[in-house]
Each structure stands twice: as structure tokens, then as C-alpha cells.
Amino acid sequence: MQLNDLSSAWQQLKLLNAIEPIAPQELLSIIEPSTSPNKTRLQRTCLFAAMFVVITIFCQGG
């Protein structure tokens, strides 16, 4: 037996597993939670920056 003989089997397996399409909602539900932490991180960074500016001004007596 040669491994090359199984190339067509691999192609066939891929085709069989591609018959059913993936619902966009299914994919979005996977990737969207990973998007929101980035937004939260950005919001947190902005908040820290604003606090830093206020504290700096306050400490300088301005």
C-alpha cells in the first residue's frame, strides 16, 4: 500500500464533511465574544488615562 493511494480518500473525506454549510450565526457566536474583551480593554485604558490626567493636574495644584 502506498500513502499516495489515499490522497483521493482525503479529498473525499473533506467533501463529505463540507456537505453541510456552517450557519453564520454559529460562527458569529464563536468570534463575537472574543471581540468584546478588546472593546472593554480599550474602554478601561481610556478610563485609566483620564484618571491619570485628573490626578496629575490635581497633584500639581492646578
The residues that touch another protein, with contacts defined as CB under 8 A, are 1, 3, 5-10, 12-18, 21-22, 24, 27-28, 30-31, 34
For another protein, which is the closer residue by CB, 30 or 49? 30
Of residues 17 and 60, the one with the C-beta less far from another protein: 17
Nearer to another protein, 1 or 59 (CB): 1
The Cβ-side half-sphere exposure at 55, using a 13 Å CA radius, reads: 6
Rounded Cα–Cα distance for residues 32 and 25 (Å): 10
